Every structure is written in C-alpha cells, then in structure tokens.
Amino acid sequence: MASPSYDQAEPGTELPPRQYQVTRRDLVRYAGASGDFNVIHWNERVAKSVGLPDVIAHGMLTMALAGRFVTEWAGDPGAVTEFGVRFSAPVVVPDDDKGATVEVTGTVTERLDGHRVAVDVTARSDGAKVLTRARAVVRLPAVPSQGGDPLEPP
Amino acid sequence: MAINPDYIGRTFEPSEPYEVSRVKIAEFADAVGEPSALCRDRAAAQAAGYPDVIAPPTFVIVISMASTAKLTTDPALGVNYAMVVHGEQSFTHARPLHAGDVVTSQSTIESIRPLGSMTTMTTVTEIRTVDGEHVCTARSTLVERGA
C-alpha cells in the first residue's frame, strides 16, 4: 500500500479499517516488551478478585494497536508527532486461541501546517468503545510514495 | 486513603540514563505488531532519513512508566495500586526515538483531583537526551477507584 500524501488526505478521508486479534500470548509478550507486569493482564484469578470480568489487555497495548493502525497508513512509524487517547473500557481477553478482537477505524479531521494532518481514531472491542478522544497528528509526504517500498508489510 | 494533594506541582529527580537499543525497539515493535522495516532495518531507516532504526510512537512508555512508577510507589503519596487504572495517555514527539539515543525521564505531578468517589492524578514526563535535547513529552492520567 502506497502511503497517502498530504494533498490526498482531505478532511473526511477514512483510513482503511482494521481488526486486530489480541490473545493471552500477546499480553504476555507485551508485558515482557514493555515491562508492565501488572497481574490483571495475565492472571484470571486476581483479575476477577478485583472486580474485572476476566484478564484485560494493557491499555497501552490497545493504544499501541491504534498507533500501528495510523503508522501503517502513513507508512512511517516516525510520522506521528502527537498521539493521545482516553481509555474508556477494558479489552477483555478470554483464555482461548482467538482472544479478543479490537476493531479500529479512523478519519482525517483537519489539515495542519508542516504537512501534518489530524486523525480521529476509534477502537471497539466486544461492542464497547475501548478508546475515546483518540487523536493522532501525522506528518505526511508532500507527494505520494510508491508501492513496493520497504514499508510494505509482509 | 486518597492521594496526597501536597504533591501537586512536585518535580522528581531525572532518571538514570536509558540507552535505546535496536533489540528493544524490535522487541517492542513485534509485541505491538508494528510491521515497518524502519523499526528493524538500519539501512531502511537511514534511507528514510533517520540515523538508525526508530521506535514506534508508544515506545516511550517503556521509559516514562519506569519513571512514574518510582514516584507513585512513594508511600507518602498514598496511591493504592490495586485500585488504579490507566485513564488517559498522550505523547508529543519532537522527533522519533532511535537506536543509540541515551535519554533521561523526569516527571512532574501536574494535578490530583477528586472525581466522584475516585481520584485522578496526571503526571507529565519529559524525555530528553543526556545532551539536553527534548525528544518527547508524555502525559499520563491514573485513576484511583474509591474503596
């Protein structure tokens, strides 16, 4: 997928929607990579004892998936200059092979200076909005990049 | 116990220097599914104008969380960790972090506010290179649920 140029990203442009699966294995991997070993992200007994329905994903993993959604569109993980979210509901991750599904959508809302655009992002899981007020500011190339570059996901 | 409002405005000592490595960036990119070659392939990152492989936009949490965790476990601050959830998070990047960066993080408690039976605490963490270049500001709001 070629990345969009600043001129192409008019307000109202929708980013290609994505669905990400999050399994218990992903939570363990994120815990190790981030250093966040909070027990509610891997231990069902403790999660339930503090009133949660089951093990929940790290909010920062959900935010990272929303970030990946934007950087995949922009074609450059370094293009995001601002990124903020509010965590509105937990992503509940059952102990099975499928895990939870996080559905992410986004819309360009504004063009800013410096070839930057603002993107509003939504993330839902199991019918609930898991992120609200999620907004990224992304710098885009002045001209469209060509497909087949090293940014193309395998 | 509520969070001690005497801590509003308090700035903590900067962290020990943290060296951003290619291995850690690749590990984090794998964990969040970020597919970009710019996080793994130095030549690709340099072709895109970066000095070395770059970190995904939320990687900074690895550094800022260690800094805020140290201050929020101060018993005098009175945070009940079992009751804490992450409320909000934002990052403002002057540039992406790249492998080879050596940075410190320094946190300030911006606000502590009651919210019904809950208390919210917002910390602002500045990430700078050891040469003093500002790289990122991370703002984090924790919510302590009422007992």
- Set of chain B residues whose Cβ sits within 8 Å of the Cβ of A86: 87-88
Q: Collect all residues of chain B within an 8 Å Cβ-Cβ radius of residue A133.
A: 88
To 10 degrees, what angle do helices A24-34 and A59-74 make?
A: 90
Residue B76: per-residue pLDDT: 87
Residues of chain A with confidence (pLDDT) below 50: 147-150, 152-154
| Verdict on whether the full-model pTM lies above 0.90 | yes
Q: Which residue of A has its CA nearest to B49?
A: A78
Give the integer Cα–Cα distance in Å for A24 and A154.
24
The predicted structure's pLDDT at residue A3? 81
pLDDT of residue A145: 63
**Does B26 contact A at CB distance below 8 Å?**
no
Which of B30, B53, B58 is best to mutate for the A interface (most A CBs within 10 A)?
A: B58
From the CA of B32, how many Å to the nearest CA of chain A? 6
In this prediction, residue A154 carries a pLDDT of 43
The pLDDT value given to residue A148: 44
Which domains are assigned to chain B?
5-20+55-144 (3.10.129.10)
DSSP class of residue A142 equals: S
Q: Give A-chain residues touching B24 at CB under 8 angstroms.
A: 33
Q: What is the pLDDT of residue B147?
A: 56
Which positions in chain B touch A28 (Cβ < 8 Å)?
none
Averages of pLDDT over runs of 10 residues in chain B (147 residues) are 85 93 98 97 97 98 85 82 87 98 96 92 96 97 83
Domain ranges of chain A: 18-22+58-139
Burial of B35 (0-12, 13-18, 19+ CB in 10 A): middle
Positions of E strands within A7-148: 18-22, 80-87, 100-112, 116-125, 128-139
Homologous superfamily of domain range A18-22+58-139 = Hotdog Thioesterase (3.10.129.10)
